[in-house]
Structure 1
Amino acid sequence: MTDVAPTTALTVVDAVIIPMADGSDWFRGWMSVGTDGRITGLGEGDPPSAAAGRVLDARGAFVAPGFISAHSHLFTSGMRGMTPGEPLYGWVGEQSTFISAASADDIYWFTLHGCLDFLGNGVTSAYNFTDSRVVGKYDAATDTREIFAIRPEEYLFSQIDAARDAGLRTMNSIRLDSEFQPVEEAFEVFARAVEHVQQNVPAGLDLGASVFGAVQWSASAQAARDEVRAMDAHGIGNQAHFLETSEALDQQREKFRWYEEAGALRPGFLFGHFVHPDVFMSRVAADKGAGMVWQPTSNGRLGSGIADIPRFRELGMPIGVGLDDQSCTDVSDPFQNLRIGIYTQRAVNEDAGILMPRDMLRMHTLGSAEALGVDDRIGSLEVGKFADFLVVDPASPDTGPVWDVYAHYAFAMGLRNLTQVYVGGELVSQNGRSTHPLAADASRELHTRVREVAARAASRSTSRLAW
């Protein structure tokens, strides 16, 4: 039996294609997409034969890979503008108080809205930290956590289902929570969540499962050993929030040793943020094959600091880029994230050449895919990969002559120029409006449910909705 090539479903013509594949440069030409949603061909000039399937005439616009957010909390879409002057722990505390009153149905709609928001802004794949079943609040001053309740497993599953229903390619990150319930029960719940992903998310949308690394908030080194056990049992990676803020820095740095001694540092292990490691930690992590994920907008919003990206690049660490959550980026704008990343690195290093536009764009696309271990499927426009791409028009509104394609794309483009978003060759957003049949429902449900959840949480919160 021989494989049958998929029929061409879509042909893009007259596009300035930015493939972001290593060894390739931008070109003006065409791209074809098969009925399986994967790229079947691309090249300069006109297609070698008559364009087949639907034809998308880009009219000279940029066509580039969809952005990948390698670090996201998609349930936070209704929490923008909260705690506008708090650093990490104060901000997390208010967020935790609010979300403690949410139900499984609430978190479904919050997550669905967040996913559609990502897609509308050109983010076609995301690593998503699902909100934990454990309802609690962390106190950095005492390194303790107050636990209010443990929610049913449906609370976790509904977030996985929401990302699936939105059509966002997602790596679902699950917290083990072995410190707050019987240990074997925690592993069983984790296993059922991984199984839920495998059985309920279509293969094309499923980028895998991951451990939600939580040692930063843990009380003992056993938490690191438990996470490694989950990694080994399921053959998956781990992304740990770590050294994000300068608050309680000595206590955070002490916990690095827990991960090191547990054997967690390896390819597939990522440090989310990693703003404040010392020289030893950076070198050890790189030598072990661990990577990091950088959130430039979030780090600025929360006053967390500026990650030493040039050093991490010199060490050869895999580096991904994320938008974190809507509640600490406020506008989940990957173009803004590119610019904040480049500009802060140049400013802090006093070197305008320390990070170039193509390098930053690579980190937010192919580099993020590599860090997550899914670069065989997403991250660049190459034959065999999913046709997740953006149409970005420098003439609408007019941004002037293009002197350098990568610099123009990273510096001069924005959401105002994003005309279309495609996932697997299917249009999911046009001119900032979602094509999803549940988009209007998601917006309505978000507004209604945020008010209801805020009212239930009011007795423990200092934040109030303005309207």
Structure 2
Amino acid sequence: LAAHMVHPTEEEMEILAENNVKIAHCPESNLKLASGVAPVPKMIEKGITVGIGTDGTASNDDLDIIGEISTAAKLHKGYNLDPTVLNARQALKMATIEGAKAIRKEDKLGSLEIGKNADIVLIDVEDPHLQPLFDPYTQIVYSSNGKDVDTVITNGEIKVLNKKVLVLDKDELIEKANYWKNKVLEK
């Protein structure tokens, strides 16, 4: 798995394709660091599997995968001056089945199929910014964000319900984050 790949040559992309190298595309990190724009449409055209990632908190402050999907879709349209590049369905696939392929877990993740983990994210589409609902793919990719996630089911277990995380103590998490922030600032 190769991360970012913002400046591969044509020859390097051929090598990546021949060797079945998968790519983790982290567009918001690349934008924040001004490191460049990965040629994702060309990579996909060459048969390279490209998934979407958020990178880390040092280079992506919100880690919102839904926002990352939206950024990827819009970035490549603007960069290529083509509104048809990386449509909503393609962008969503990069975060689901293509992402699963990128980490070589497509037999268990990335789509709802018998025998795969029951990993499901439900989005609350009742908020005004998601209305009117014409095409769920475009609404998810271009209009929603992480705050619209209502329910998360991982391997059949409910982790988030009614927008409330069930598996973490929010106050404890914030306390730990601040503890480590202060430890870093001490140095």
Larger fraction in helix? 2
2:121 alignment partner, one of 365, 385, 390: 390
Match of residue 16 from structure 2:
285
State the Cα distance separating 1:431 from its structure 2 match: 4.5
Q: Structure 1 stretches (4+) deviating beyond 6 angstroms?
A: none
Match of residue 316 from structure 1:
47
Q: Aligned residues, how many?
A: 187
| TM-score, normalised relative to structure 2 | 0.93
- Work out the CA distance in 2 between the residues paired with 1:358 and 1:311: 17
Structure 1, residues 427-463: CA drift from partner, whole Å, max 9, x if none?
21235432125443222122123212321x1xxxxxx
Residues 129, 143 of structure 2: 8 Å contact kept: no
The amino acid of 1:280's aligned partner reads E
Residues 276-425 of structure 1 mapped to structure 2, 5 A cutoff: 276-397=7-128, 399-425=130-156
Residues 12-411 of structure 1 mapped to structure 2, 5 A cutoff: 270-397=1-128, 399-411=130-142
State the Cα distance separating 1:338 from its structure 2 match: 1.1
- Work out the CA distance in 2 between the residues paired with 1:437 and 1:350: 43
Gaps of 5+ in 2: none
Gaps of 5+ in 1: 1-269, 458-467
Structure 1, residues 151-202: CA drift from partner, whole Å, max 9, x if none?
xxxxxxxxxxxxxxxxxxxxxxxxxxxxxxxxxxxxxxxxxxxxxxxxxxxx
Greater relative contact order structure (CA < 8 Å, 6+ sep): 1
State the Cα distance separating 1:284 from its structure 2 match: 1.5
Residues 52, 69 of structure 2: 8 Å contact kept: no
- Work out the CA distance in 2 between the residues paired with 1:426 and 1:342: 30
The amino acid of 1:448's aligned partner reads Y
- Work out the CA distance in 2 between the residues paired with 1:330 and 1:448: 18
Q: 1:314 to 1:430 in 2, by over 3 A?
A: same
Residues 6, 38 of structure 2: 8 Å contact kept: yes
| TM-score, normalised relative to structure 1 | 0.39
Match of residue 444 from structure 1:
175
- Work out the CA distance in 2 between the residues paired with 1:271 and 1:452: 31
Q: 1:282 to 1:444 in 2, by over 3 A?
A: same
Larger Rg: 1
- Work out the CA distance in 1 between the residues paired with 2:163 and 2:34: 30
- Work out the CA distance in 1 between the residues paired with 2:26 and 2:109: 20
Q: 1:437 to 1:344 in 2, by over 3 A?
A: closer
- Work out the CA distance in 1 between the residues paired with 2:178 and 2:162: 23
- Work out the CA distance in 1 between the residues paired with 2:118 and 2:31: 32
Larger fraction in strand? 1
Q: Cα RMSD over matched residues?
A: 1.6
Percent identity of paired positions between Structure 1 and Structure 2: 26
The amino acid of 1:282's aligned partner reads M
- Work out the CA distance in 2 between the residues paired with 1:324 and 1:362: 18
State the Cα distance separating 1:331 from its structure 2 match: 0.7
Residues 339, 411 of structure 1: 8 Å contact kept: yes
State the Cα distance separating 1:398 from its structure 2 match: 5.3
